[in-house]
Amino acid sequence: MKLDYSNNKELISEEKELITPSIRAFQIGEGSEGKHLKKVVEKFGKKTNDEAYIKAMDWFILEENRHSMTLKKYMEVYDIKPIENNWIDNVFRFLRKLMGLECEVVVLVTAEMIALSYYTALSNATGSKLLKDICAQMLHDELRHVVFQSYTLHKIGVRRNEFINKIVRGIRKFFMRITLNVVWVKYKDLFRNGNYTKKTFRNDCLEYLKQSIDIEKAGKLV
């Protein structure tokens, strides 16, 4: 999708004030060099003799960084200054590096499922055609990312005892509930203006998680 950044009169001041805190946070969250992720992916790819997976994850990292640059360019149009760091993003990055590939992917896919609701709300909350186009592109990409990372969890889980997989699924459900509540408290004004209540936001996130777990179990779209 070709994005037209030339029209800087779409976003009214009230909308700019509304979206600024969350778009700053998601902009920094989308971008990462992915050094630890690349390291654990390469280790897993070599262990399973799956060079194609290593290349696929490289494309994933490039696409995430493109998302970050797209949001940053939009912010520049409306003079929204980027932030150096965000505590929620810092926690996510810390958790991702605690263990190996599975830990990375669980945190990543949780963020991507939250992003599906976020970009829907962001699109609904403003009249900016450019921002709506950006959100549509993000939703298209993030949905594919959720499927991809869910399949990664299948590749990891299929190699071990099912009891351990059930424990990991329980951890995923707990982590999702914690995360969605933190994100709601932090950005509830944006979500409410984007036609979300806390209940619909929670239900959407938990439904995305259910679908992700279904893919993880089956190793394919179900």
Per residue in 126-182, pLDDT tens? Answer: 999 999 999 999 999 999 999 999 999 998 898 888 999 999 999 999 999 999 999
Please say whether the structural domain 13-218 has been given the CATH code 3.30.930.10.
no
Neighbours of 167 (CB within 10 A): 11
Closest CA to 94 of 83, 82, 103, 102: 103
Structure tokens at 56: 């696929």
Per residue in 57-73, pLDDT tens? Answer: 888 888 988 999 999 99
Q: Looking at residue 173, what is its pLDDT?
A: 97
Per residue in 78-134, pLDDT tens? Answer: 999 988 777 676 776 667 666 688 888 998 899 999 999 999 999 999 999 999 999
- Decide: 134 and 26 in contact? Cβ < 8 Å: no
Burial class of residue 97 (count of CB atoms within 10 Å of its CB; 0-12, 13-18, 19+): middle
Closest CA to 213 of 154, 158, 159: 154
The answer to whether the predicted template modeling score (pTM) of the entire model surpasses 0.85 is yes
Structure tokens at 107: 């945190």
Q: Looking at residue 14, what is its pLDDT?
A: 93
Q: Give the mean pLDDT of 190-209.
A: 97
Give just the sign of the alpha carbon dihedral 205, 208, 210, 212: negative
Q: Looking at residue 141, what is its pLDDT?
A: 94
Q: Give the mean pLDDT of 27-40.
A: 80
Select the more confidently predicted residue: 175 or 38.
175
Q: Looking at residue 222, what is its pLDDT?
A: 61
Structure tokens at 118: 């976020």
Rounded to whole angstroms, how far apart are CA atoms 131 and 134? 5
Q: Give the mean pLDDT of 41-54.
A: 86
Rounded to whole angstroms, how far apart are CA atoms 119 and 105? 20
Rounded to whole angstroms, how far apart are CA atoms 68 and 27? 5
Check pLDDT > 70 for residue 56: yes
Q: Looking at residue 50, what is its pLDDT?
A: 84
Q: How do the domains of the chain map onto residue ranges?
A: 13-218
